[in-house]
Amino acid sequence: QARLRESGGGVVQTGGSLRLSCAASGRTYLSAAVGWFRQAPGKEREFVSVISTSGTMTYYANSVKGRFTISRDNAKNTVYLQMNSLRPEDTGVYYCASSGTYGYASPSQYDDWGQGTQVTVSS
């Protein structure tokens, strides 16, 4: 089981950047794919991006493709989400989660979740 903790959220203006971090502990971390999801008020949790165990494979939602970059540093047990050209519609609570299999976009396929970090993009 992996324990995950997000950080790096904040308030930024449209067009700005933030880098989120997902620090993980637990012996299953290195064998887990890690995904980022977000949830806006009144909306369902939606997939943002996922990275494979080795970091060689990544996948993005169309809404963030070309603006967000996911990466991982296994030596530091940390996954990052670099977010550029932020838009008001990117506002929400961002969660990281681990999965035993790479490639899923459904939250139900992820086993362990962090508490989330708030990202607010002002217009």
Per-residue pLDDT of 38-49, as tens digits, reads 999 999 999 999
Per-residue pLDDT of 57-89, as tens digits, reads 999 999 999 999 999 998 899 999 999 999 999
Q: What's the pLDDT at 30?
A: 64
% of the chain with per-residue pLDDT over 90 = 81
Mean pLDDT rounded to a whole number for the chain: 93
Residue at 69: amino acid letter:
T
Q: Where are the strands (E) in 1-123, listed by range?
A: 3-7, 10-13, 18-25, 33-39, 46-51, 58-60, 68-73, 78-83, 92-99, 112-113, 117-122
In b/e form, how buried is each residue of 37-53, taking b as 16+ CB within 10 angstroms? bbeeeeeebebbbbbbb
- Do 99 and 92 meet the contact criterion of CB atoms below 8 Å apart? no
